[in-house]
Amino acid sequence: MKYHITPSHTFMGTCHVAPDKSISHRCIMFGSLANGITKVSNFLEGEDALSTLQAFCDMGVKIERNDDKVVIHGVGMNGLKAPSKPLDMGNSGTSMRLLSGILSAQPFDSVMMGDVSLSKRPMERVAKPLRQMGAVIQTTGTKGTPPITITGGQSLQAIDYVMPMASAQVKSCLLLAGLWADGTTSIIEPEVSRDHTERMLRAFGYTVVVDKQPHGNKISITGGGQLTACDITVPADISSAAFFMVAATIANHGNITIKQVGINPTRTGVIDILKLMGADICLANETMMGGEPVADIMVKSSKLKGINIPAHLVPLAIDEFPVLFVAASCATGKTILRGAKELRVKESDRIAVMADGLKTLGIDCTVLDDGIEIIGKGDEHQHGKRVFTGGKIDSHHDHRIAMSFTVASLQASDAIIIHGTETVNTSFPNFAGLVNGAGLHVNVKNDVI
Ligand code: S3P
């Protein structure tokens, strides 16, 4: 698929963006392993979360789905069955990494594979500590990449693990393996990373101990317990809301309300960074939903200034940098991001791929080993000129690259054509329809090359 997008000026309205992807994955995993029936409302019907759902169906869990309503008949900690074929994780790193922890503790063998993007992503970051716990796990790709093969029937031992990077996926993988391990598994993170696993374990009645450290947390879990089913309503995904937040900020006429978005403090780096840049963002109707804080987010057009992005905000906005680079391009002055090497191993190398796309659209930027410098065109923007030219962009099978350059059309002088937009369905199935409803001109076409 490709998007053919003509320039627009307005981004307005009230909308519900896609449900949270991280939380949707975890509902399926914990619901499947729990005793009893878990009912999920507002489940993300995106391909990534559906890959997780299918994997648990393949392991004998009865899961009924009616649009965004999902009913999971939990099989308990020892009830998963051997899948009859390799588990296909599609584009989803979260599915593959979290399931590595679960599958390492099962009595049966398993294989996981993925699409062209997932097949390039590093899996030794989970395989190595799992081996320390006694797992027999191989990354059979050329560079510690998928497919992953796991030999079941091992008894896992708890470990103390100092994570080399702030990764919620690695942390969650090891906490999940720790559910079956003998003893107390402790993970120390170098910086705080998203804590949905810790929150959901507690919602399912499992004890998790969190000790605050100078930077990240130490999270401990003792194996051998049980999970008890519960009902969960998934909030809207702040990572999906980020496209709407930047769109309303950079539009000449922007005024948007995004309803009931998850504002877990381990995910709100995008709000903090945009506010530091001068964005006009307010929260209203704050409440709790299934152990997670939510709020309506209101955003209006504003003039942005370039900033040095504070290091502690990097893991808290890790998925939002592609669209933040679009915001930085519209700011006055230079924006500098450092300490963000993790961006190089996401669904694409998001530093290189965004830099290529920004240059195509006329933005001066410099790629750094662990970040980027972007010279914003805010001054020209304030004199009524458009920030971006038109041009052709390759999304490199990365949904967030495709959606970020879609937002750039609000400040483009000519059409932007984005190739490889089918992966938008992994996290935000109705993206094009919703942004068009708010004022964009996105035409979705078949991409015949
Ligand atoms: C996720 C964690 C993050 C994030 C990903 C989802 C999760 O990855 O980028 O989109 O649900 O745990 P890392 O843990 O690799 O930073």
Whether 115 is catalytic: no
Tokens of 313: 């905000």
pLDDT at 365: 98
Write out pLDDT tens, residues 148-173: 999 999 999 999 999 999 999 999 99
Q: In angstroms, what is the span from residue 192 Cα to ligand 1's centroid?
A: 12
pLDDT at 313: 96
Rounded Cα distance between 436 and 432, Å, is 6
pLDDT at 383: 80
Average pLDDT estimate for 229-234:
97
Ligand 1: which atom is nearest the Cα of residue 172? 12
Q: In angstroms, what is the span from residue 415 Cα to ligand 1's centroid?
A: 32
Residue 290 has pLDDT above 90, yes or no: no
* Residues making up the chain, counted from first to last: 449
Rounded Cα distance between 142 and 151, Å, is 20
Asked if 373 contacts 334 with a C-beta cutoff of 8 angstroms, the reply is yes
Q: In angstroms, what is the span from residue 378 Cα to ligand 1's centroid?
A: 31
pLDDT classification of 396: cutoffs 50, 70, 90: very high
Residues whose CB is less than 8 angstroms from the CB of residue 416 and which lie 6 or more positions away in sequence, other chains included: 3, 5, 361, 388, 390, 391, 393, 405, 406, 408, 409
Cβ–ligand 1 distance for 292 under 6 Å, the answer no
pLDDT at 4: 98
CATH architecture of 21-233: Alpha-beta prism (3.65)
Residue 381 has pLDDT above 80, yes or no: no
Domains 2-19+236-445 and 21-233 share a fold: yes
Cβ–ligand 1 distance for 347 under 6 Å, the answer no
pLDDT classification of 29: cutoffs 50, 70, 90: very high
Residue 449 has pLDDT above 60, yes or no: no
Residue 51 has pLDDT above 60, yes or no: yes
pLDDT at 121: 97
Q: Which of 319, 364, 370, 447 is catalytic?
A: 319
Give the DSSP H/E element, type plus range, for residue 3. strand 2-6
Write out pLDDT tens, residues 417-438: 999 999 999 999 999 999 999 9
Q: What is the mean pLDDT of the chain?
A: 97
Residues whose CB is less than 8 angstroms from the CB of residue 214 and which lie 6 or more positions away in sequence, other chains included: none
Q: In angstroms, what is the span from residue 321 Cα to ligand 1's centroid?
A: 13
- In the chain, % helix, strand, coil (3-state, to 5) comes to 35, 30, 35
Asked if 95 contacts 106 with a C-beta cutoff of 8 angstroms, the reply is no
What pTM was estimated for this model as a whole? 0.97
Residue 233 has pLDDT above 90, yes or no: yes
Share of the chain above pLDDT 90, in %: 96
Query: Which of these, 281, 231, 233, 241, lies nearest to 261 by C-alpha position?
Result: 241
Residue 359 has pLDDT above 80, yes or no: yes
pLDDT at 224: 98
Residue 211 has pLDDT above 90, yes or no: yes
Tokens of 122: 């590093």
Q: Where are the alpha helices (DSSP H) in 90-181?
A: 93-103, 124-132, 168-178
Average pLDDT estimate for 320-331:
98
Residue 11 CA: distances (Å) to CA of 122, 297, 434: 38, 14, 11
Ligand 1: which atom is nearest the Cα of residue 26? 11
pLDDT at 215: 84
Alpha carbon nearest to ligand 1 atom 10, residue: 319
Residue 379 has pLDDT above 90, yes or no: no
Domain 2-19+236-445 has CATH 3.65.10.10: yes
Write out pLDDT tens, residues 180-206: 999 999 999 999 999 999 999 999 999
pLDDT at 30: 98
Write out pLDDT tens, residues 105-131: 999 999 999 999 999 999 999 999 999
pLDDT at 380: 82
The residue extents of the domains of the chain are 2-19+236-445, 21-233
Cβ–ligand 1 distance for 194 under 6 Å, the answer yes
